[in-house]
Each structure stands twice: as structure tokens, then as C-alpha cells.
């Protein structure tokens, strides 16, 4: 009888103080819906594409791509979306590497591919 009561006490106390039960967004942290986060990343990729088209240097384009990579961390939906987001991030990373090497034509193509990949994420939601 003692073992049963002890195990019930332990189980109920774990459920009562579970961090996942009480998890909330931090007071200063902004959380985005998955579609809003995808749109935000897509807008940042468009800025990078426009920068390449306007003749910006590789370092400026790489900085814009870094902003898009950082923003992509806000996309939280499910495992399937996270896997597709990871693949799209690989395209952004390749574009950033090309931009750092001043191979802007290759970077622009990778950015266009990444833009399409991020837009395709909406279909997975």
C-alpha cells in the first residue's frame, strides 16, 4: 500500500510542477504564428534578392541572408515543417557562402530557390 501511495504522490507532483505544463513565452519575447514567421523570412529573402539585383557588395548581401537565417528560427509548427525548414536553411547557407565569395549570381539563384522553399512551407501547415 505504501508503494502505491508513494508512486501516486510522485506521479502527481511531477505533473503539477512540470515545466511544459507551465511553459509560456517570455514577457519580452515576441512569438509568431507559423505563417507570419514564414512571411517574415520570405520578406527578408526578397530584400537580399533585391540587394543582389541593385548591385550591393557580397558582405552586405551576406548580412541580409544572415538576418533571414536568424528569422527562420521563429518558424515552429511540426516535425515535417521543421525538416523542410532545415532544408530551406541549407539553401540560404549556400547563398550566404556564395555572397561572401562575391559570387552574387550563384547567391541570387540560391536565394530564389530558398524563397520558393519557404513559400512551399505554407502548404505543409
Q: Is residue 25, in this structure, part of any structural domain at all?
A: no
Domains of the chain: total:
1
- Helices and strands of the chain, counted as H and E runs: 5, 0
Q: How far is CA 99 from CA 32, 40, 66, 110, 121, in A?
A: 29, 21, 11, 10, 24
Reply yes or no on whether the pLDDT at 12 is more than 80: no
CATH of the domain at 50: 1.20.120
Tens digit of each residue's pLDDT (9 = 90 or more) over 56-115 = 888 999 999 999 999 888 888 788 888 999 999 999 999 999 999 988 899 999 999 999
- Residue 38 CB: number of other CB atoms within 10 A? 26
Q: Is residue 7, in this structure, part of any structural domain at all?
A: no
Percent of residues, the chain, with pLDDT higher than 90: 48
User: Can you give the pLDDT at residue 13?
Assistant: 73
Question: Among 11-20, 46-55, 102-111, which is the least confidently predicted range?
Answer: 11-20
User: Can you give the pLDDT at residue 29?
Assistant: 63
User: Can you give the pLDDT at residue 92?
Assistant: 93
Q: Is residue 11, in this structure, part of any structural domain at all?
A: no
Reply yes or no on whether the pLDDT at 43 is more than 90: yes
User: Can you give the pLDDT at residue 18?
Assistant: 56
Full DSSP string of 32-59: --HHHHHHHHHHHHHHHHHHHHTT--HH
Residue with cell 507551465: 22
Q: CA 33, CA 72: separation in Å to the nearest integer?
A: 12
User: Can you give the pLDDT at residue 2?
Assistant: 83
Q: Is residue 20, in this structure, part of any structural domain at all?
A: no
Amino acid at each position: 500500500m505504501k508503494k502505491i501511495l508513494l508512486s501516486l504522490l510522485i506521479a502527481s507532483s511531477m505533473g503539477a510542477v512540470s515545466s511544459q505544463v507551465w511553459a509560456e513565452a517570455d514577457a519580452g519575447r515576441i512569438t509568431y504564428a507559423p505563417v507570419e514567421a514564414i512571411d517574415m523570412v520570405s520578406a527578408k529573402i526578397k530584400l537580399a534578392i533585391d540587394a543582389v539585383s541593385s548591385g550591393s557588395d557580397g558582405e552586405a548581401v551576406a548580412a541580409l541572408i544572415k538576418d533571414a537565417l536568424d528569422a527562420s528560427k521563429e518558424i515552429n509548427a511540426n516535425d515535417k515543417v521543421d525538416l523542410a525548414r532545415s532544408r530551406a536553411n541549407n539553401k540560404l547557407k549556400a547563398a550566404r557562402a556564395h555572397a561572401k565569395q562575391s559570387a552574387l549570381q550563384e547567391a541570387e539563384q540560391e536565394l530564389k530557390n530558398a524563397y520558393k522553399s519557404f513559400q512551399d512551407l505554407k502548404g505543409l501547415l
